[in-house]
Amino acid sequence: MEPIGDVANPASLDPESLGFMCGIEVHQQLATGKLHSRQPGELHDITIETLPEDWQRYYRKLRSSSGEGGAVDVAARFEARRNRSFVYCQAPNAGLIELDEQPPLPHDEDALDISLTVSGMLGAHPVPLLQTMRKTVVDGSNTSGFQRTTLVATDGVLETDGGPVGIDVLCLEEDSARKLNSKLTPSGEVVTWNLDGSETHS
């Protein structure tokens, strides 16, 4: 079906006749320990200029590879072409799991409890089995090249003054690392990340 109105003027288009639907994704950091390690979820107020000298630095370069279906993710292929390398700064509350040198631990129980409580408040239906998924992320914000996300509940409703708002899914997701700096060098862009925040939000 062709849009009704001048496509050069989006304000003139009729969303209803287009069958347009829009949703938003809301993230909320949880005041718990990290999601897949038993490290505290403390965020350090630092910049690249105030970065402590005694924080270890680790250097990585991420490359795209084919997934289970045999295809390379389009976004991953794009990021790989940018020829970027990454420096990860190990905060006091970042260990081997944050560095992708140790398998993740089970979910933080406090984070899971909060998620299930919110699910109940929204009238959502908890899934019978928590299974952690891996979403490809090759922008450097995760040392492993993917982000761990767990579906907790589905089909909730948030009651508002403007009427009910459907909540399709509620997930628990590890937070990404925090970007400290980016600079161009003769061999490509170098991005520096702080690993203090690389776990828990919902």
Highest-pLDDT range among 65-69, 149-153, 172-176: 149-153
**Global pTM?**
0.81
What average pLDDT does the chain have?
89
Burial 141-168 (b: 16+ CB within 10 A, else e): bbbbbbbbbbbbbeebeeeeeeeeeebe
The pLDDT-based confidence of 74 (bands split at 50, 70, 90) is: confident
CA 198 to chain centre: 9
- Across 74-114, the runs of DSSP E, i.e. the strands, are 84-89
**5-64 residue pLDDT tens:** 566 777 777 778 777 778 899 999 999 999 999 999 889 999 999 999 999 999 998 877
Q: What is the pLDDT of residue 3?
A: 53
Helix residue ranges per DSSP H, the chain: 15-18, 74-81, 109-121
Separation CA 21–CA 69 (nearest Å): 29
**123-162 residue pLDDT tens:** 999 999 999 998 888 889 999 888 999 999 999 999 999 9
CA 83 to chain centre: 22
DSSP state of 195: G
